[in-house]
Structure 1
Amino acid sequence: MKFSLSPALVKNSLASHSWIGLLVGFLMYLICVSGSLVVFSGYMKRWEQPAVPEFHTLAPEAAARAYGDLLAEKPDISGDILLMLPRENLPRASVVSAGGVYFLNEDGSRGGSIATPWSNSMVGLHDALHIPGEWGLILVGVIGAMLCGLMVSGFLAHPRIFRDAFNFRQGGSRHLEQADIHNRLSVWGAPFHLMIAVTGAWFGIAMLMYTLFGNTFFDGDREAAIAAIHGTSPKLEQQVEVADVGRAISAMTELAPGARPIFINVEAANSPQQYILLGAHHPEALIYVEQYRFDQAGNFIGKVGYSDGEPGKQVIFSLFRLHFGHFGGLLVMVLYVIFGIALAAVSVTGINIWLVKRRKRDFINNIWVGLVWGTPAAVALSALAAVTLHSGAPGYFWLPLLAAALLGQWLDNETRTKAWLQWATAALSGMLVLIHVALFREHALSGASLVINLALLLLAILFFALGARTAASGREVQSDLQPVRLT
């Protein structure tokens, strides 16, 4: 008996496949663009609140005062109480607890409330595509795993890819031009792209991996697998006293003289089981922090062992800094942005190649160009909403992006859509700088704020020039298509 599918089913299946491919490529593009921004998340937070006092160290007695003031104000507070200490890219101190989130002055006194909605929104876009719960993290992790597969299959499918690493065929067919950009950027950034894909996949599917480790090595006990990697909470029974966070910080000069404390978390605060967890950065290691644990009196209990424990622990706790480029200083961060944008271009050109191969033009082309060039405009508009309205609601990003896609369909002209959105990005970036300076005055013209505002001005100039070039290329095409009048 011959099995066959109806032509209608085949047609619908192909359409579904096309939409799924377009969706995955676009989501990967969003993750890459937002990830390039998140590399500078510390600078972004400083730009959003430029008037906050900055300093490089918080003295132990200042940290003790901050914690004591919080308990004096809210003696019944419970849960975890986190003190973030000044660090390299974010030289500020803050307190995070059920009693509120606010900055600290250098003497440990309370400052203003923390409000960084745009930075948080971009981190949420990169980590989970603004999808609540664990589903967004899992989806991003799955896309990272798919990127690994795409890289491997891409290299296997193009045996001449290294031989043609410097071969650009611009000015000819659009298919060859897009293919060359796609393949060249893939080759040049391959080590970086693979590292980003692997580490990003881990963040998204970590809980699934813990389940696998538990089933494989711990007789099905996932919690035991997590404890083996992250350590277990100390079992303490104490008469509740104010946790001596100052003593814990002071003890680090003997425990790890070269390490720099960057946060203190009083876990299970105001309970007999409370203890102090101190995270310290080790400059000689790639790990994010080593975790040192103290009882409520500041007596050292032990450390987890990320800095000198089993290789697996060291690798897992190095993934964060490796993924976001938070090592090696500003130069490494700039390189991460360059390679991140290159990976975004690889995602876009991959879809462009598919669109050209279809040998037809329809609403997919219109929507795609709107989404690609609407993304920078939506990012700029979301930043504008955060500065003026103090809101980082996902709608300030997704609604402009939807409007850009609808604009592409309405104009029904890819060149015009591209030019209009490039000019919109230029206008929004320039407006963002003017409003930021008007709101924060001298604070907008110094430190991290000055760096970001100059970058925004450069982006405004770049996108204006791109828009002018795109519009000019469209006019040239129209001129070439004009009929020749014979006399």
Structure 2
Amino acid sequence: MASSIWPKSSKARVDRSLSAHSVMGLAISAVMFIICLSGTVAVFEDEIGWWENPASAAVETVSPATAQTTARNVIAAQPGTTHLYLYLPRENWPRYVAGGDDGLQTVTPGGELSGEYETPWNDFLIDLHYYLNLPASFGMIVVATFGVMLIAMAISGFLAHPRIFRDAFRFRRKGQARLIQADLHNRLSVWTAPFTIVVAGTGAMIGLFAVVALVLAQTSFDGDTRALSEAIFGEEPAMDETPTRLAEVDAALLNLSVVAPDADPFLVIVHDPGTAGQHVSIYGEHHDRLVYGEMYNFDAAGNYTGHTGFSDGELGQQIAMSTYRVHFGDFGGLPVKLAYFVFGIALCIIIAAGMNIYFLKRREAGRPMPGFEAAWSALVWGTPALLTLALLAALVGLPAVFLGWLFWAGLVAASAACAVRGNAIQSGALMRIILAVALSLSVIIHAARFIPSYTNPYIWITSAGLLGLGVCVLSIKGGAISVRAPRQALRPAD
């Protein structure tokens, strides 16, 4: 018989690992589920933003001359801005957006500012995943801490199951409800482990960067955080606020095509525009690399002054600039994004099944918790339901600042009400109905607002997909997740 690749574990170590795994799971599952689900949806943030507000015409390419015209228009609209941004169209984002310190606007193919760039639901979604709608610096550290704990959960889960690889394809669909849930939890955990560790690790790196930066600044840069920032992101030229004409963005773009013909520009930044100290940075995408982009620098006349080294500099610098794309699957096009979405849903199921196992064990021991079971079922299905209700609210005009309050207040109220009711199956069914109705109403209202945009296949395909998702949700039976567990397993005790 072939020996297992997993090292032998003593019963004491297995018991300790299982205990640690269970305790961490109980402590973090609710918030972790929200982070993972919002992140799964946020994989499509560019596409969602385009669907949410497709009022402006699609823009496929922007010429250097048009970019220069846009830059002048931004300065005319925001004369005091300290930075000028031009977001150029990308493969999955056929939009042209520009602005400064006072906000962004959509831009016509000719370079004219055409209106505020407003995607309140998309902004809310990103704020939820990045910060849990908490103040940014604190919220990012909180989310990153959960990323670290998710890695710990994955490791402790492996240590608690010495036969986890040998049983990798064992999945019981009939029989005791707890064993069905355990197989689902364990099998998906094995299959998605590389994804989970990579995504959780990169998320933790992104979120804890501020903390790590403070430590590195003290240990390696004599407490100078500016020196650390310049070591990673490049040195800023000295400021000179003497007024002068706007930098030549068009010349910089033309020169980029010469010095880096393989770099696909997607973001132009003019630092201190209209001053003698102004300079231009252009982020160019390298499609064969994981780095977010290389930053090419130009003076006010558009002359090339060098690049920062994100693509060929120090290894740590390259790793730091690759974490975003690895975390969100922003590489490899639509197939990779779809794969991230599937793995993200699997991770959400793992979390839901883990809590189901806990509740079923308590039932078997004669200590059921029907109120908590119902609250958990309400949270699992209420999270997507409240996300969709927030989308519906955004489409009817509710500002982004209120969407977070709607989501959290609604989720807490739904979970509390279902806990009082104490029926997990009914709670899940009710939340699924709300989710399906909200999806349908969102598509109807979207179509009424943006019917001219439905000549774009992407828009109506997305809407059709949302309607199809609503139908699929209504077809799901059972408790917190879609498994054929016996109904009595999740029913309140008599």
TM-score by length of 2: 0.88
* CA deviation after TM superposition for structure 1 residue 108, in Å: 0.6
**Alignment partner of 1:389 is 2:392:** no
Q: Distance in 2 between matches of 1:384 and 1:22?
A: 32
**Alignment partner of 1:421 is 2:425:** no
**Alignment partner of 1:369 is 2:383:** no
Provide the residue aligned with 2:257 in structure 1. 253
**Mean Cα displacement is larger for which, 157-166 or 292-301?**
292-301
Q: Distance in 1 between matches of 2:23 and 2:116?
A: 44
Provide the residue aligned with 1:360 in structure 2. 368
* CA deviation after TM superposition for structure 1 residue 173, in Å: 2.2
Q: Within 5 Å, give how 1:77-476 maps onto structure 2.
A: 77-235=80-238, 237=240, 240-358=244-362, 359-392=367-400, 393=402, 394-444=404-454, 446-467=456-477
Cα 1:472–1:108 shift into 2, 3 Å? closer
Conserved in 2, the CA contact under 8 Å of 1:420 and 1:467? Answer: no
Read off the aligned partner of 2:179 and give its amino acid letter: L
Deviations 1:447-472 (A, max 9, x none): 33223212211111111111599999
Q: Distance in 2 between matches of 1:212 and 1:99?
A: 33
Q: Distance in 2 between matches of 1:265 and 1:409?
A: 51
Helix, strand or coil at the partner of 2:173: coil
**Mean Cα displacement is larger for which, 17-26 or 404-413?**
17-26
* CA deviation after TM superposition for structure 1 residue 166, in Å: 1.3
Read off the aligned partner of 2:181 and give its amino acid letter: Q
Q: Distance in 2 between matches of 1:133 and 1:91?
A: 29
* CA deviation after TM superposition for structure 1 residue 181, in Å: 1.0
Q: Which runs of 5+ in 2 are unaligned?
A: 1-20
Helix, strand or coil at the partner of 1:102: strand
Conserved in 2, the CA contact under 8 Å of 1:43 and 1:448? Answer: no
Provide the residue aligned with 1:8 in structure 2. none
**Mean Cα displacement is larger for which, 217-226 or 31-40?**
217-226
**Mean Cα displacement is larger for which, 284-293 or 465-474?**
465-474
Q: Distance in 2 between matches of 1:259 and 1:472?
A: 47
Read off the aligned partner of 1:310 and give its amino acid letter: E
* CA deviation after TM superposition for structure 1 residue 37, in Å: 0.9
Q: Distance in 1 between matches of 2:177 and 2:478?
A: 20
* CA deviation after TM superposition for structure 1 residue 39, in Å: 0.7
* CA deviation after TM superposition for structure 1 residue 104, in Å: 0.7
* CA deviation after TM superposition for structure 1 residue 390, in Å: 4.2
Helix, strand or coil at the partner of 2:476: helix
Q: Distance in 2 between matches of 1:41 and 1:100?
A: 19
Q: How many residue pairs were aligned?
A: 464
Deviations 1:16-54 (A, max 9, x none): x99985451111111111111111111111111122111
TM-score by length of 1: 0.89
Q: Distance in 2 between matches of 1:335 and 1:233?
A: 39
Helix, strand or coil at the partner of 1:346: helix
Deviations 1:198-236 (A, max 9, x none): 100011101111223223333343332222111110236
Alignment identity in percent? 36
Conserved in 2, the CA contact under 8 Å of 1:85 and 1:263? Answer: yes
Q: Distance in 2 between matches of 1:384 and 1:346?
A: 28
Deviations 1:42-93 (A, max 9, x none): 111111112211122111111101111232344x413111111111221111
Helix, strand or coil at the partner of 1:466: coil
Cα root mean square deviation, aligned: 2.6
Read off the aligned partner of 1:290 and give its amino acid letter: E
Deviations 1:380-404 (A, max 9, x none): 1011011112422212222221232
* CA deviation after TM superposition for structure 1 residue 133, in Å: 2.7
